[in-house]
Amino acid sequence: MRVGHRRRVLRGDGRLVPRLGGVALVRFRRAREQGVERKRSADSARRVVARRRWIRRLPRGLRVRSDADAAALAAAVDEGIVRRLEEEDGERGGEGVEAVSSIDRRRFVKGTVATGALIAAAPRVWGSARADDRIKIGLVGCGGRGRGAAVQALSADPGAQLWAMADVFPDPLDATFAAITQAAEIADQVEVPPERRFVGFDAYRRVVESGVDLVLLASPPQFRPAHLEAAVDAGKHVFCEKPVCVDVPGYHRVMRAIRNAAARNLNLMSGFCWRYSTPERDFVRELRNGRIGDITAIDAKYLTSPLGTRARQPSWSDMEFQLRNWQHFTWLSGDHIVEQAVHSIDKILWFMDGRLPVRCTAVGGRGVREQIPERGDSYDHFAVVYEYDDGARCTLLCRQQSNTHMENTDAVIGTKGHGFVNGWGPTHWLKGEAPWTWSSNTAPPNMYQVEHDELMQAIRGIRPRIADDFMADSCLMAIMGREAAYLGAAIEWGRLLDSQLDLSPRSFEMGPMPFPAVRHPGRRTVQA
């Protein structure tokens, strides 16, 4: 790439940024709900480019047989990246990237030699990919999140190739295809002729049958269980955006797909991106090390503004109108506690080391939602208390209201201290007998990109199989909170698991569709 080359590039959230140039694609970290954009450091951007060069040196199909081997390989590649950056700075007569001078040359040589031996001994087999060394990707759901996931998947591996695309509507598919093919860094990895661009409710099946190795699922959550089942049944690796279900029958379908993926040794990654954020990972590591003792309470907040709407067009049927405003219809999104605030619920599950609540109570309502059809039947606030069998209590506050305070934080109380996480900060600390604060000289890597980096490495056998089986329980916890608020009563986990409430319509076709009524506490049961 020429220094000063001018081009249009595609951001991680799928939007084109005009006329950015330089020695590497400038990447952005996006605090999505706050609308804040920050440039990543120049060194960080250069590391992305150097990392891609090192990936190209690795044999496709490298299989690592243990976590220790994976760690050795990762360390050697990381040091190789720093070495490459140092060489580039030497060629330019520069002073080098920060901390390069501290690299132990003997450690680097030892690491790369060990990696060479590892590579030489490794069999060249991986997942369901073919001998041509490409990872063929199918994208199902071509909205902003699907577009971003496709860009990140292609950026993660130079051998990745976008092979097929699907959406219920043609216009988002066409827009995403045009945007990705205009992204200079990945345009040559796109090979989706018109005959592999599928439209309609059954388009996902055609993607799965098109010869792909990896399927990215980013349609409205109502469709996730069916799409996940089809992909796993066909032996495909899957990136499954959150949430993965909107009701209990969907949860059970997802759980079956999770077990099926494990039996078939398929990688299954969720879109719970905070689990791939470096500060959050370090925070959880310290929790596991016992810095604040046993956790007795968590206070999670996800307070933000409303999502956008799309005005009805004369040509739209009832079904199309609701699909194009899917975030605001519970049958499609699960309501915002399931669609958005599930991130905070997933962190509760993570911090609690996978422990599930036995009971919850909640309140919620539609305080200031505009009374317009585009706002559907969703609430604009929830408050939930999750109770555990040992007396621990975790609370969630979530809100989507204009001109209100915004916050995405988690306070954790333990028997020996307490901790705090502000993912939008980022601020992460623990106080008590052994205080700890997260710090770094550089911005943490983009967690959305880390997801796909690690997924590609797992598909190629460079790291252990990814099995994000927690994703179903996180979503069921969110459904539990929603149903407690809709009911105005306490919900027990066991009772919820027996629920037959299915939010899906009788058939999926463009045409008339009843408009759902807003739920009122006391007028609906989870057994309905």
| Sign of the dihedral through C-alpha 173, 176, 182, 188 | negative
State how far the Cα of 234 lies from the Cα of 257, in Å rounded to an integer.
Answer: 11
3-state secondary structure of 452: helix
Both tokens of residue 307? 């999502």
Domains of the chain in sequence order:
38-121 (no CATH), 135-273 (3.40.50.720), 278-445+469-497 (3.30.360.10)
For residue 57, give every residue at least 6 positions away whose Cβ sits within 8 Å of its Cβ, in sequence order, or none: none
3-state secondary structure of 521: coil
* Helix intervals (H) in 132-169: 144-156
Q: Environment class of residue 57 by beta-carbon count within 10 Å: exposed (0-12), middle (13-18) or buried (19+)? A: exposed
Both tokens of residue 385? 């208390």
Give residue 248's Cα distance to chain centre: 21
State how far the Cα of 374 lies from the Cα of 364, in Å rounded to an integer.
Answer: 20
- CA 431, 436, 442: angle at the middle one, nearest 5? 140
State how far the Cα of 85 lies from the Cα of 336, in Å rounded to an integer.
Answer: 44
Q: Tokens 């996180």 map to which residue?
A: 474
* Helix intervals (H) in 186-236: 203-208, 224-233
Cis peptide before 514 (omega within 30 of 0): no
pLDDT tens string, the chain, 528 residues long: the values are 333 333 343 444 444 444 333 323 333 333 333 333 333 344 454 555 555 544 544 544 444 445 555 555 555 555 544 444 444 444 444 433 333 333 333 333 333 333 333 333 333 334 444 435 899 999 999 999 999 999 999 999 999 999 999 999 999 999 999 999 999 899 999 999 999 999 999 999 999 999 999 999 999 999 999 999 999 999 999 999 999 999 999 999 999 999 999 999 999 999 999 999 999 999 999 999 999 999 999 999 999 999 999 999 999 999 999 999 999 999 999 999 999 999 999 999 999 999 999 999 999 999 998 888 999 999 999 999 999 999 999 999 999 999 999 999 999 999 999 999 999 988 999 999 999 999 988 899 999 999 999 999 999 999 999 999 999 999 999 999 999 999 999 999 999 999 999 999 999 999 999 999 999 998 754 443
